[in-house]
Chain A
Amino acid sequence: MQHLTVVIPVRNFRLEQLIASIDALLGCGAKCIDEIIVVDFGSCDPVKLQPHPKTRVIRVEADVWSSSEAINIGVLSAKNSIVAKIDADMLVPKYAGKRLDSAASHLGREDAASMFLAQPIDLPPEIETSEALQLALTARDASVWEEGHVRPRWGEGGLSIFSVDKWNEIGGFDTRFVDWGNEDNDFSRRIRLSGGRVIWMEYGTIVHVWHSPAVTSPDAAQRAASNKALFEKNKSVYRPHRFRHSSFISSIASPDIMTRVRPMVTVAIATSERLNRDQMIAEAILRFQGQLDHDFEIVVVDNGSSKTATKRLRTNLNKLRGVPQPRVEVLESPSIPASRNLAAQVARGRYICVVDDDDLALPNRLIDHLRPLQEDPQAHGSHGGWIDFDDKTGVIEVNQGKSRSIETLLAGTGKITAHPASFYRTDVMRAIPYDESFELGSDLDVAVRQALNGIRIAHTGSFVVLRRFHSENVTRTGYSKQLSSGVRTRSRALEVIGATRYHTIRDRASKQSGLIECTPHYSMQEIVELMPEYAGVWTVFCAAEGIPKANSPEAAEFASKNGAEICTLESGLDQPLVLAFSPVETARTALDLQAQAERVLETPVMILPSDEIAKLRKLRFKWSQLLPKASDRVWLSPTYVDLRELLSDMATLPAEIAKKIIVVSDHTEENESYYLALPHFDGNVEHAVWLIRRCTGRTLTKTSAFNIRRVNEGEY
């Protein structure tokens, strides 16, 4: 026999009706019922019942009535794994007892994901509670309720039966619903969205006894409207467990009660022993401080590290304050995919937030990942934009990301997504695990396999992470392995669709490969402030002209002390002059210098990575020398939207190739794009093209200079 706990939430409700409801439950013959919990949610007169071995009252203090919270308290206190929630004005007739047994048995043995609902029959006011109870205790079938009216099937839960596991999975009843109304519709909809069916019980399983409205607060109508709006607007499946309105957590619950409910998110970090690991991982974790009201857990999987290093990691993580205590799992052999799979297996959160041990989450990260899932309940996760920064030089690259589909991933249009900017449903990560046969590159592989299997990852429309580049980055140390993994990933996915269909893939990709706008836009200043204070080498500068205090002795002394010089930031024609100070190490020092300079000079002062300025100065080009002869053959790169990206690529080229490269720009009404072009020269052109591809990852295609002229027509 599958046992069942019945939960009855009440606040300032007529005791006579509550007792009738309990008497009907005890008298209906349902063998499954072995516990009835009445949750008294701050009634003015506390509920007092005659002692009964199956019945108990949980009293909590609360100023605001929240049926949702009362039910959650009951479920959390239940001793059985199947729970029936029934309203205090409902009666279960005698003939329906076996239906409860059958429903409990179905949920316990066959299908714990689903829920049972019953349509109430509304009795007319003429039938009083005592008479209705008498009929319920003796009725043989539903024909005795011929004077009643059955309610339509919306999803309302006068009586709902569900498993505690399912309740826990979706986050229970949403306690943002106050009073009552729509919280039950919302709960049943989320059960269905999470893969459970709603099974309607037979006609006449419960009857509703008429009563005058129990809650008559002046703002009841406003609350009902607010509940309705919440139901219509928020379509997300998983919600956080919150006890917003009552004294349950502070006074009733045992200290570990919240360990029974699942957190919203598991922050999953795979790590292995390397230089500065403990410091970087601590920084990575502390970036989640204050996010999502700490409704997350942190799982760190240490793989392939020495026992000493693991012990040191545990000790250091135990010292962290202000975030949930990280849980450390250990894998003896080094494997990033196995670590991530282990994290998914042990995760208790409904979502997994992928975090690298050296990256820094932006303050909005978790909430931004959840936002698109509220609008589209069928999305399986989200990814966002990411900002790369170099730990040593401070050079920054901003990446918005693109639509993540099988076409864009296979066509390899570049900068589509970053694994540490991703967020997935936990069940998806368990269903499509990382391929442990990959040493590196399992992140791209899992993204491609997700897309191939129809998993939808939405974009947050925001930046979510600062991705750190440093000497120990696997992106740097294992670059060639990642490239070969990428080839393997793409080739087998392509084989499924059919290699001959690559043109279709490319065509579809070209329609989806636009950059997704991320807001808010971060200025250089804001990014520097978000970076670790010890990172980078920076140049602080301001416009050379129009400095109010330029000639003051204080300014002269300050400029001299900090090695200021008048120069340009970039080479080329008509560059504006700036007053630049000597490069300084660490972001903290640069920000301090900037603040001092602003105070002394009384003018806006800016910051740029010194390395980037050096690059801009090193690269020379003149627009007047751009165009090759119309008869020439040239090799042309794919489009660059960002000129800095192009310049950065040029800086990676050997000098003899860089000299031969020219820059072509294409202006349209809306924006500007750039190309690297390599004109024909005497020598090994093919080798030069190969070198460019190796250094920049861009494949140049052969074209006629005539086409370039057309691109530039009307430009000057």
Chain B
Amino acid sequence: MRLTVSNDSEYNATVITADVDCNTDATPLLSRVMVFGMMCNNSSPMTALAAVCFFHRYCGEQINFDSIRIGANHLTGIRHIVGSSVNVSTVDGRYNKLSDKSIDMLVCQDDQAGRRLPTDGANTSKRIIWGGDFVNSVSRDSYGYTIPEVYTNARLICDDLHISAALGLIAGAERIRNLYLREKAPSVEKRNLQVALASAGIATIFS
């Protein structure tokens, strides 16, 4: 899978594109994830990790990043999300930059936004509230929907846990110390994600 990250400055959006480039990749329903209301650092390895979070279900045995250099730690992280047998290009064994741990982040959806972000006062903190399609998939109506600060179409191809993690990585890049996530997910997936982000120097806290 070739993953390309770019910004659409006219729409203030991050665009992550997945192109199938090997005979083991699956084609996702959407090959382009849009994140409206958020621009990314498109050379950060954290953004690469975010791209893998979005498309992890579809990556076959190799992943190529366009113009993102990642280190061995990030490679370990990616393999925890996608699987240990995956090959990743643009890995630079001498690139060891990890998170500088300067902010805490809470990423959640609108119905969880009222909760407070735990902080120790010494660090800055940031909260990202995101949403997807206006229509609730269970009730099939849009009663009570409020437009979030960040809107993404990623729900069509990805689970909420990985979307939250990816949005946190895009927004916080190399500054995240603790990433607070509140999505329900199987414990195996939570554990894999936790280990993956820990490899990049980020502590994931589920609450």
Q: Which residues of A contact B (CB under 8 A)?
A: 113-114, 153-155, 188, 192-200, 337-338, 341, 377-378, 380, 427-428, 431-437, 449, 452-455, 492, 495-498, 501, 504
7 contacts between A and B (CB under 8 A): A200-B61, A427-B29, A431-B29, A431-B156, A435-B142, A437-B142, A453-B132
Of B31-39, B46-54, B70-78, B166-174, which stretch is located at the interface?
B31-39
Kindly state the separation between the CA atoms of A435 and B144 in the bound complex, as whole angstroms.
Answer: 12
**A-B complex: 6 closest residue pairs judged by Cβ atoms:** A453-B153, A437-B141, A436-B141, A197-B26, A496-B151, A504-B10
Kindly state the separation between the CA atoms of A194 and B57 in the bound complex, as whole angstroms.
Answer: 13
- Contact A197–B24 (Cβ < 8 Å): yes
- Please indicate the chain B residues that have their CB under 8 angstroms from the CB of A341 in the complex: 140
- Contact A192–B11 (Cβ < 8 Å): no
Contact of B60 among A197, A337, A492, A498 (CB under 8 A): A197
A-B contact count (CB 8 A): 98
Contact of B28 among A195, A337, A452 (CB under 8 A): A195
- Please indicate the chain A residues that have their CB under 8 angstroms from the CB of B36 in the complex: 496-498
- Please indicate the chain A residues that have their CB under 8 angstroms from the CB of B58 in the complex: 195, 197
- Contact A449–B11 (Cβ < 8 Å): no
- Contact A432–B135 (Cβ < 8 Å): yes
- Please indicate the chain A residues that have their CB under 8 angstroms from the CB of B26 in the complex: 113-114, 192, 195-198
- Contact B11–A195 (Cβ < 8 Å): no
- Contact B27–A193 (Cβ < 8 Å): yes
Give A113's nearest chain B residue, CB to CB: B26
- Please indicate the chain A residues that have their CB under 8 angstroms from the CB of B189 in the complex: none
Q: What would 17 more interface pairs be, CB under 8 Å, given A195-B27, A197-B26, A449-B134? A: A192-B26, A197-B60, A198-B23, A199-B24, A337-B140, A378-B27, A378-B31, A432-B133, A433-B137, A436-B141, A437-B141, A454-B153, A496-B151, A497-B11, A497-B13, A498-B36, A501-B10
State whether A495 and B147 are in contact (beta carbons under 8 Å apart), knowing that A192-B26, A196-B26 are contacts in the complex: yes
Contact of B134 among A188, A193, A195, A492 (CB under 8 A): A492
Tally of B interface residues using CB under 8 Å? 36
- Please indicate the chain A residues that have their CB under 8 angstroms from the CB of B91 in the complex: none
In the assembled complex, how far is the CB of residue A528 from the closest CB belonging to chain B, in whole angstroms? Answer: 41
Q: Is the interface of B mostly helix, strand, loop or mixed?
A: loop
In the complex, B66 has a CB within 8 A of chain A: no
Kindly state the separation between the CA atoms of A521 and B153 in the bound complex, as whole angstroms.
Answer: 38
Kindly state the separation between the CA atoms of A155 and B94 in the bound complex, as whole angstroms.
Answer: 37
State whether A200 and B141 are in contact (beta carbons under 8 Å apart), knowing that A195-B29, A195-B58, A449-B134 are contacts in the complex: no
State whether A435 and B135 are in contact (beta carbons under 8 Å apart), knowing that A155-B23, A453-B156 are contacts in the complex: yes
- Contact A433–B140 (Cβ < 8 Å): yes
- Please indicate the chain A residues that have their CB under 8 angstroms from the CB of B147 in the complex: 492, 495-496
Contact of B24 among A200, A433, A497 (CB under 8 A): A200
Kindly state the separation between the CA atoms of A518 and B29 in the bound complex, as whole angstroms.
Answer: 28
B1-35: contact bitstring with A at CB < 8 Å (1 yes, 0 no)? 00000000011110000001001111111111110
In the assembled complex, how far is the CB of residue B110 from the closest CB belonging to chain A, in whole angstroms? Answer: 13
- Contact B29–A437 (Cβ < 8 Å): no
Kindly state the separation between the CA atoms of A497 and B32 in the bound complex, as whole angstroms.
Answer: 16
State whether A454 and B30 are in contact (beta carbons under 8 Å apart), knowing that A154-B23, A198-B23, A501-B10 are contacts in the complex: yes
- Please indicate the chain A residues that have their CB under 8 angstroms from the CB of B10 in the complex: 501, 504
- Please indicate the chain A residues that have their CB under 8 angstroms from the CB of B28 in the complex: 195
- Contact B140–A197 (Cβ < 8 Å): no
- Please indicate the chain A residues that have their CB under 8 angstroms from the CB of B12 in the complex: 498, 501
- Please indicate the chain B residues that have their CB under 8 angstroms from the CB of A435 in the complex: 134-135, 140-142
Kindly state the separation between the CA atoms of A5 and B12 in the bound complex, as whole angstroms.
Answer: 52
Give A446's nearest chain B residue, CB to CB: B135
- Contact B140–A434 (Cβ < 8 Å): yes
In the assembled complex, how far is the CB of residue A426 from the closest CB belonging to chain B, in whole angstroms? Answer: 12
- Please indicate the chain A residues that have their CB under 8 angstroms from the CB of B141 in the complex: 435-437
- Please indicate the chain B residues that have their CB under 8 angstroms from the CB of A455 in the complex: 30
Kindly state the separation between the CA atoms of A421 and B34 in the bound complex, as whole angstroms.
Answer: 28
Give A427's nearest chain B residue, CB to CB: B29
- Please indicate the chain A residues that have their CB under 8 angstroms from the CB of B25 in the complex: 192, 197
